[in-house]
Structure 1
Amino acid sequence: MLEEFELMHTIRILSTRDFMDDAPTILSGGMVYEFERLDIDGLDSLKSQSVWVYIDWIMPEISGLELCHRLRAIRSADQTRITLMLERDRLEDRRRAIDAGADNYLIEPLTLDVITAQIAAISGQAMTDEGDRLAIGHLSLDEQTSIAFWKDEPLFLSPTLLRLMKYFIENANRLLTREEILASINVAGQELDARSVDVAISRIRKELRKVGAGAILRTVRSRGYVLDLRIG
């Protein structure tokens, strides 16, 4: 039994919720879910760690949006997956969550079952064809490690941006409409909108510029976007 436990994939989950202090470890679907309270004053401890973070919309000391911004400012915490809890299902709140750097959002109430169900759904999708490496030109995506590269330089992309990058690589040099792009990055229960596409594209472009990739992700006015590797 101990050997089986050691072979299971461990998911570390942090949240601003009080009930995380007493949350039990959960074993489900071949994964071990470990919960703990997020220390707002100790965000640097998340560096270089793959964790899932669930943030309240409103907190006494800081807003959820501001906390998202702070987490995304920690460059080496790129593997942190952020879900922002919305008190109401409003389009404007969803947009603000994504703009602040959240990968996903959930509508209240938040429970351990909701958390494990969401992570299982997203992780299951992310591990499809695990071990494959997509590549075209100087751009590649290692699906086993979930890291994208330009030449030998890694791109610091969130899970949502990695899904989008994979879709662009699979459809390189082809015009993609916003509707097609939305369908590629949406996960069950996480319906994003056209504004979210523009924000995601902006973030990918920023990372591409950092590694010297140039303007390979082009806007085709009123039509969509194209990953144009003929100019990369």
Structure 2
Amino acid sequence: MRLLVVEDEEEMGRLIARGLEAEGYAVDVTDNGVDALIKAGSVSYVAALVDVMLPGMSGFEFCRHLRSQASTLPILLLTARDAVDDRVRGLDAGADDYLTKPFAFAELTARIRALVRRETATPKLSVRVGQLVIDNQTRRAVIAGTSLALSPKEFELLRVLAQRQGEVLTRSEILTEVWGKSENIDANVVDQYVSYLRRKIDPLGSGISIITRRGIGYGLDIDDLAGSV
């Protein structure tokens, strides 16, 4: 699971990232709201930890901008101010939770787990990764305005990779997620369906690609250009 940390104090950002990585999370750190919005629009995160006092764009403004894009990314605001008005302002701006500095790291991770549980308990109607949009209701996938003609298994494979963008899934994990089990199924079927998807995705030149990690499995990747469109 990947987290976005938005913190302009370099040492604080490094400490938070180090602690979260020790808990098993993948972590991206940025020091300003503009870059954070770009990352949030191009990478699939399970939650964002956002400092209120950011240069240029405050944490409150980040929340408002993200929510105006219809993003449901869980946001935990971090601040040194404990005034009730600030907490209310943050929640009204679209934050899901609020934690005051200094905080115990155990409480931070507990808050993150709660946000992730809340998010995963509610099925998403759509998943967006860069120029790729997957509609789980209509079971339709669109890249840069082009609708993909996908078989049911191709759609499921793309959906699973998109929902866990930034991770590398083993063939066994993919078989379980897409085919319902990994026993008694030749793992080469995963390679075959990845090949089918690549033939449909790669010619579109959208920056969306399925990457191979030899000896491990597959993941969905996106370049910076695709994420900024």
Report the TM range for the smaller structure's normalisation.
0.3 to 0.5
Q: TM-score, normalised by structure 1?
A: 0.43
More helix by share: 2
Q: TM-score, normalised by structure 2?
A: 0.43
Greater RCO (CA < 8 Å, at least 6 residues apart): 2
